[in-house]
Structure 1
Amino acid sequence: MSPRDLIDIGVFGALYVVTVGIFSLLEYLNPVATLVSVAASIVGAGVPFMLFLTRVRHAGMVTVLAVLVSGFMLLIGGPPIGFVVGIAAALIAEVLLWVGRYRSRQLSVLAYAVFSTWFVGLFLPLFYARDEFLSSQSMQEKGADYTEQLDALLSPAVLLTFALSTLVFGLIGGVLGLRLLDKHFRKAGLA
């Protein structure tokens, strides 16, 4: 990778994290807003991700982006399994982009949908370490009422539906990103 590629990864990684972070603020309202914030994050982050794909010219760039994003999430208290899921999702997205020679619009949207499944990794501990997750520092900061409501809301069925919905919201975010690329960013010479 060239220094320019690394700079692009850093810039778009920061844009992606900021976009997700802004929408993630909704989760502090209540537990239902937590799921809404994830959906909004996936859709909203489709814009910087699809713009990033206009800069991707070869394999590895999406995976490095995933290392940055997943590593940041790990640093701010995300579960280690989230890092693993993020890298796995990025590798699958890389394969889709490679098949489309990094220029297929349809495969770019699909690659973003797959990339977005890294959000599932944030909630996986609810399946195998529920008590630890609910008693974690970040949950304690939100209060006992919030934690109890979240526990009641996030049943295994809801979590499974949420996991599948990340693909759907990823497709929506990818299409939105493409439309904004065509409508605004290409005219401005940014894509």
Structure 2
Amino acid sequence: MSPKDLIDIGVFSALYIVTVGVFNLLEFISPVMTLVTSAVSIVAAGVPFMLFLTRVRHAGMVTVLAVIVTGFMLLIGSPPVTLLVGVVAALVAEVLLWAGRYRSRYLAVLGYAVFSTWFAGLFLPMLYAREDFLSSPYMEAMDADYVARLDDLLSPAVLIAFDVSTLVFGLIGGALGLRLLDKHFRRAGLA
């Protein structure tokens, strides 16, 4: 990768993290808001991701972005499986982007949808290590009532529905990003 590629990855990783973070700050209101803000984050983050794809010319750039984003999530308390899910999702997205020679608009939207499934890693431990997740340092920062309501809300069925919905919200976010890219960013000379 060239220095320009690394700069692009750094800039767009920061934009992606800020976009996701702004909406996820509201998750502390209630457990329901945790799921709502995740969905809104996926849609909103489609804009910087699609703008990033205008600068991607070869394999590896999306995966490095995923490592940075999910690595940051680990630093703020997300479960380690988030990094694994993020890297796998990014590799699949890379295959889709490569199949479209990094220029297919439809595969770019689909690639973003697949990339967005890294959000499933945030709650995945609720399926296989529920007690450990609920007693993690991140959850200890919440009050006991919040943790109890989250435990009640995130049944296996809700978790599976959320995991599947990350693809749907990713498609919406990718389409929104593509629309804004065409409508505003190309006119402004940014894409």
Smaller-chain TM-score bracket? over 0.9
Please report how far the alpha carbon of residue 70 of structure 1 lies from its aligned counterpart in structure 2 after TM superposition: 1.1
Residue by residue, what CA displacement relative to the aligned partner does 1:35-85 show, whole Å, maximum 9, x if unpaired?
001000000000000000000001110011011111111111111111000
Please report how far the alpha carbon of residue 108 of structure 1 lies from its aligned counterpart in structure 2 after TM superposition: 0.1
RMSD: 0.6
What does 1:130-145 correspond to in 2, within 5 Å?
130-145=130-145
Q: Could you say what secondary structure the match of 1:117 adopts?
A: helix
Residue by residue, what CA displacement relative to the aligned partner does 1:104-161 show, whole Å, maximum 9, x if unpaired?
0000000000000000011111011111111112212210110000000000000000
Mapped to 2, the partners of 1:106 and 1:176 lie a distance apart of 12
Give the equivalent residue in structure 1 for 2:74: 74
1:85 partner letter: V
Query: Are residue 121 (structure 1) and residue 135 (structure 2) matched?
Result: no
Normalised TM-score (structure 1): 0.99
Give the equivalent residue in structure 1 for 2:64: 64
2:141 partner letter: E
Mapped to 2, the partners of 1:13 and 1:139 lie a distance apart of 26
Q: Could you say what secondary structure the match of 1:56 adopts?
A: coil
Query: Are residue 153 (structure 1) and residue 153 (structure 2) matched?
Result: yes
Mapped to 2, the partners of 1:97 and 1:177 lie a distance apart of 16
Query: Are residue 25 (structure 1) and residue 28 (structure 2) matched?
Result: no
Mapped to 2, the partners of 1:28 and 1:75 lie a distance apart of 18
Normalised TM-score (structure 2): 0.99
Identity level (%):
75
- Alignment: residue pair count: 191
Mapped to 2, the partners of 1:148 and 1:134 lie a distance apart of 9
What does 1:1-191 correspond to in 2, within 5 Å?
1-191=1-191
Q: Which runs of 5+ in 1 are unaligned?
A: none
Residue by residue, what CA displacement relative to the aligned partner does 1:143-180 show, whole Å, maximum 9, x if unpaired?
01100000000000000000000000000000000000
Please report how far the alpha carbon of residue 29 of structure 1 lies from its aligned counterpart in structure 2 after TM superposition: 0.5
Q: Could you say what secondary structure the match of 1:142 adopts?
A: coil
1:187 partner letter: R
Q: Which runs of 5+ in 2 are unaligned?
A: none
1:132 partner letter: D
Mapped to 2, the partners of 1:115 and 1:36 lie a distance apart of 18
4+ runs deviating over 3 angstroms:
none
